[in-house]
Structure 1
């Protein structure tokens, strides 16, 4: 019987010690960011991705064990748990095998076989399966009583029982599974009454489609399943039925008499009515699970890049949510993102008050000492950007176009209402745009990640798996960057290792009561924040201008003593070590190794002392679109244009070239050589140069090529 450690090793190939120690840490309620950063010696330096794999297979194993217990209980109640069956269940390593073993004992709805048993036809089924009788009809005649009115009825009922036996045979089920895995084709047909439906047109490629199920790309399978769920097409999973039937018959039929004829009919019935529907659905679900995994992986990679997008930092920002008829909503934010002023201007049609708008923006930039302007990339974005570039500011003001994705979700959320109870959704949306420029991570954590819209078919995948994976990504990003405990929102604090929503609220409220945290020791005073939460979270919570400079670093408080000893041995203070690479080179790390701290941790400490609290993200850079390109009609084949990658999928990436429609760089146009992973060639929000290959104005489609 496989145990948890060996199960994980068989799926990951990690060392036994690494897996065992990681499981122990997880069972002690340690988080992935904490384990990967501060317990490297125990895990053998596993990163957060590998620890995430251990978590995934640990949960899988626990789900299998839970199902085994449930099956054991049911079988014991039915008094059918033989030693042989118990051993088979104990040895099962996946849920499919478990369910196959349990299938014969499952209390299901009234089946044809169960009805036949109640009519006393099981002995007849056994006689037929023995394949020794020649005059089957004469034998069947003996069973024509009660609800069985004829020989045909008796034989049909016996075949239903045989069909169920065939369906329950694990070897037969696995044989068909193997054929489905290797040879299954997925085919689609349009529902004729829906062929001309306007909403169906985006799926017209799949009105008559056929492809190998094992080779279909994840995005195509998800598109097909969406088209089916919306009622536009029918989907079938098919294999060579004659071949499948032959293989079943070869396993069962060993005679050439009347019994064989009945069994052959039962095989066809079992295959058509029971085996194929069940196992083809299972094969489609397995393919869907793989497609979900692929799509979730794409979304997770995109989200990570988005969250770790370049921050402008603590700069005073004027943010604009542009619009035509309803005007442009603008806000002024201080360097910490606090709202100082808001107003609506109307520079565009129908009011066309561009002169008044220019004066207002100019005066606000001067009054609030604005250092940067953030313009939302939605409706009227290009026109607003052109207006801003006409203004001659007294000081140097950088102009940025910022993604609005999810801003409307935030502005109507409970979080936004708590932050700005006296302002409407338009003001909140503008604030969000400005804060995204200052610190994308701090602002985007307030929005449900699924609403940010960077991925493919995120609404079609398993929503629980998606949410779980995205939460892991957000947690890893927040802890990789670190959080200023004295300025962070409740949303940001809730993702800190070991904290969560309730403690985040307690920290927030405590901060409001005491003013600011002056040291990491103060964190222990937060109500209900115990020693475990402090251990898990303290090193990810930073305190600016603290008396102890290590409080604004990723050095864990448990290692403060060893840093103090290093400084003392050098005849210096801890402050003298900070940022002093030459001095730190003199430290012989081997002298400080002990049972509680190893070389990997000490090396991390030295790196952190060289650049304490260093933000791993690049700083935001100004980007300018081609000002001559205003609509899709301005595009021409062969043009070279600046663009920003705004979404990545398995089949390529989408690029904003400054117009309403994004262009697609198909995976085949990312490189002259084979592209295995789109993320290896481009990243989200990367500034690139693209070549226009094709423009389809009618379908609003733009084909691009990455220009090296």
Structure 2
């Protein structure tokens, strides 16, 4: 059943799903399965394997709920074989819960009170629509707590309203109407309208839009405005049309029962059906908006993590500031802190001459190859100062995003790394290391703090965290990790490792020194055969005796590579990197029961460029030095910029001032833009045209030029 369920939702081949499920049940990870088990999966990528995991979880949740419901029905003493079959059928939770509704234990309701007053037989008579003199029949039920005919009829209507609410066909029909025709409307709460915080939501003070077509970012903005108490949100449909649909399903004759049924239908709709189903529709719309926003965040995070590294270069990093000065640190090629101090080139001290001398002497003393400047307060002024310096050697200057650096500097990880330094030093180190290797540094920060999403605090936090963890894991394993220099957070994302084993690896390295081969990894406490199988090919060892230990070739395939070298009459060292020999190898000779052409082709690609970093090299970028604030902008200007955030409605661009400009989707291309990521990517260097400058609201509208 599970396989069929997953195949229906993913449209993937049955054998691929079956084999992937088997691998998952054997505790294999997504990166390992997608990279090293291609024959088994039919070459599924990490996204497709991730989809199988998603629908496997969904199916298991559905089955767990079915089991719980069947147990509850058994305890009520109502479970029959027919009822069991009925509850085993649904393929989604909504249908299952609709079926269960009549059997659910209810809190005290109007219908329950009416039943206790003996009015259920009257409700059944009216529902059958065979009686004419309803008043006389109702009079027979005037006893006990029922004091009048009207009270008897009202109680019967409450019971009928509950029955109507529990009918799956009626719920399904109304659900379809809400899905197709519902409008989301807002009204401003006048008492809050003048608040400064409310102004950013003023577009939604009186808004109406199709719930089905509202863009995710707008729905999340509206719901945030409601949560902050500035507006009221309602879901509306054509009530008359909805009531007619329900009446058509229930009322068969126009006798005396019809009037009571109409009243019961109206009550069921207003009190039970519509409140429940409109809330459900809004929740589903919110869920879709969450998924869309999380998807944007995930794409942005992936681009950020796979940002261009400078590599192992000696870096001088500066965290700029005015009053508190600029914190300067010097890092060696491996990111180790060698020196730190503070300079005061800007107001109020204005010691630019002293700062220039100090930077020059540090650059010479520590053989600095690049300078990283944080992009926060005083960034432009600091960059201008650095560019005035005549260095003896060619030193590249980069402006680096500070997003999340303050989170890292105050974190437990930073305190463990630098127990004797304050947050300013740690923040500067983080800026420098981001230039050397963005991935290795950014994994130390909670992804939600990096600030590359939209409405990340409004979406389902559990779902967001799970998706972002998957992105980080996929990126780390796509690049590979140097086991002898990686931090604990970086190691923890390696396939099959996790936080505890990462700590064990780190401690083993501290005690025994560097790992000399992949086989040495098995000496780490509690790192067994399964963890080694899942992680070994993603852990690289520089300068190892076996050159394959610094490649993405899995140790389980070393013998194949050795055989290739032997068959070609060359040493292993001479085979690696030799394209002429590698491209002439007849791979069919090496195909076996568990190794197919897909794996062999991957091995050849890796041997051609062993350990090649999939990321581009970092490039120097310079903003327009004449633009220092929003007041320096005017329509028509062409400016260099860097994409610093991507959303569903466009992208934000850093043009070197405090405020980022927005390129709306309509200004990204002359043709329709389905996905912003198809036109720009995070940290891309672009040229933009200024379309509009709103100084009062600090908004800048831009157009993509190239």
Q: What TM-score bracket applies, with the shorter chain setting the length?
A: over 0.9
Measured in 1, the distance between the counterparts of 2:665 and 2:257 equals 58
Cα offsets for 1:446-469 (capped at 9, x unmatched): 000011110110110000000000
Partner of 2:270: 272
Partner of 1:685: 683
Ranges in structure 1 where 5+ consecutive residues have no aligned partner = none
Q: Specify which of 449, 457, 467 is matched with residue 469 of structure 1.
A: 467
Tell me how far 1:678 sits from its aligned partner.
0.3
Q: Specify which of 468, 471, 479 is matched with residue 481 of structure 1.
A: 479
Q: Specify which of 246, 252, 255 is matched with residue 253 of structure 2.
A: 255
Tell me how far 1:84 sits from its aligned partner.
2.7
Tell me how far 1:192 sits from its aligned partner.
1.2
Cα offsets for 1:233-267 (capped at 9, x unmatched): 01111111000000101110111122111110000
Partner of 2:282: 284
Contact 2:39/2:594 (8 A) holds in 1: no
Partner of 1:83: 81
Partner of 1:509: 507
Partner of 1:633: 631
The TM-score with structure 1 as length reference comes to: 0.99
Partner of 1:5: 3
Look up the SS of the partner of 2:399 in the other structure: strand
Cα offsets for 1:492-514 (capped at 9, x unmatched): 00000000000000000000011
Measured in 2, the distance between the counterparts of 1:692 and 1:528 equals 58
Look up the SS of the partner of 2:467 in the other structure: helix
Tell me how far 1:398 sits from its aligned partner.
0.6
Q: Specify which of 343, 358, 377 is matched with residue 360 of structure 1.
A: 358
Partner of 1:220: 218
Measured in 1, the distance between the counterparts of 2:576 and 2:294 equals 41
1:672 pairs with 2:697: no
Q: Specify which of 543, 546, 550 is matched with residue 545 of structure 1.
A: 543
Look up the SS of the partner of 2:388 in the other structure: coil
Structure 2 counterparts to residues 148-297 of structure 1, below 5 A: 148-297=146-295
Partner of 2:443: 445
Tell me how far 1:108 sits from its aligned partner.
2.2
Q: Specify which of 611, 614, 617 is matched with residue 613 of structure 1.
A: 611
1:397 pairs with 2:395: yes
Tell me how far 1:82 sits from its aligned partner.
2.7
1:314 pairs with 2:284: no
Partner of 1:433: 431
Look up the SS of the partner of 1:71 in the other structure: helix
Measured in 1, the distance between the counterparts of 2:163 and 2:13 equals 43
Q: Specify which of 484, 490, 493 is matched with residue 492 of structure 1.
A: 490
Tell me how far 1:153 sits from its aligned partner.
1.0
Partner of 1:424: 422
Measured in 1, the distance between the counterparts of 2:304 and 2:239 equals 48
Tell me how far 1:7 sits from its aligned partner.
0.5
Measured in 2, the distance between the counterparts of 1:539 and 1:281 equals 49
Cα offsets for 1:524-582 (capped at 9, x unmatched): 00000010000000000000000000000000000000101111111111111110000
Q: How well do the aligned residues superpose, as a CA RMSD in angstroms?
A: 0.6
Measured in 2, the distance between the counterparts of 1:235 and 1:194 equals 15
Cα offsets for 1:38-87 (capped at 9, x unmatched): 00001000000111111111111111001000001001100112333222
Partner of 2:589: 591
Look up the SS of the partner of 1:256 in the other structure: coil
Look up the SS of the partner of 2:373 in the other structure: strand
Partner of 1:27: 25
Q: Specify which of 560, 563, 566 is matched with residue 565 of structure 1.
A: 563
Look up the SS of the partner of 2:86 in the other structure: helix
Partner of 1:381: 379
Partner of 2:69: 71
Cα offsets for 1:659-680 (capped at 9, x unmatched): 0000000000000011111000
Tell me how far 1:152 sits from its aligned partner.
1.2
Contact 2:114/2:155 (8 A) holds in 1: yes
Tell me how far 1:586 sits from its aligned partner.
2.2
Tell me how far 1:109 sits from its aligned partner.
1.3
Contact 2:36/2:599 (8 A) holds in 1: yes
Cα offsets for 1:343-396 (capped at 9, x unmatched): 111111111111111111111111111111100000000000001011111111
Measured in 1, the distance between the counterparts of 2:345 and 2:52 equals 56
Cα offsets for 1:260-280 (capped at 9, x unmatched): 111100000000000000000
Runs of 4+ with >3 A deviation: none
Contact 2:330/2:337 (8 A) holds in 1: yes
Measured in 2, the distance between the counterparts of 1:176 and 1:138 equals 34
Measured in 1, the distance between the counterparts of 2:80 and 2:627 equals 75
Look up the SS of the partner of 1:389 in the other structure: helix
Tell me how far 1:143 sits from its aligned partner.
1.2
Partner of 1:129: 127
Measured in 1, the distance between the counterparts of 2:55 and 2:320 equals 47
The TM-score with structure 2 as length reference comes to: 1.00
Partner of 1:56: 54
Contact 2:693/2:701 (8 A) holds in 1: yes
Measured in 1, the distance between the counterparts of 2:351 and 2:154 equals 84
Look up the SS of the partner of 1:550 in the other structure: helix
Contact 2:315/2:333 (8 A) holds in 1: yes
Partner of 1:698: 696
Measured in 2, the distance between the counterparts of 1:100 and 1:134 equals 33
Look up the SS of the partner of 1:115 in the other structure: helix
Measured in 2, the distance between the counterparts of 1:663 and 1:129 equals 63
Contact 2:630/2:657 (8 A) holds in 1: yes
Tell me how far 1:26 sits from its aligned partner.
0.6
Cα offsets for 1:605-625 (capped at 9, x unmatched): 000000000000001000000
Cα offsets for 1:105-153 (capped at 9, x unmatched): 1112111111111111111111111111111111111111121111111
Number of residue pairs the alignment of both structures matches: 706
Q: Specify which of 90, 110, 113 is matched with residue 112 of structure 1.
A: 110
Contact 2:317/2:428 (8 A) holds in 1: yes
Measured in 1, the distance between the counterparts of 2:78 and 2:289 equals 39
Measured in 2, the distance between the counterparts of 1:218 and 1:692 equals 27
Cα offsets for 1:585-613 (capped at 9, x unmatched): 22110000001211000000000000000
Contact 2:403/2:451 (8 A) holds in 1: yes
Ranges in structure 2 where 5+ consecutive residues have no aligned partner = none
Partner of 1:102: 100
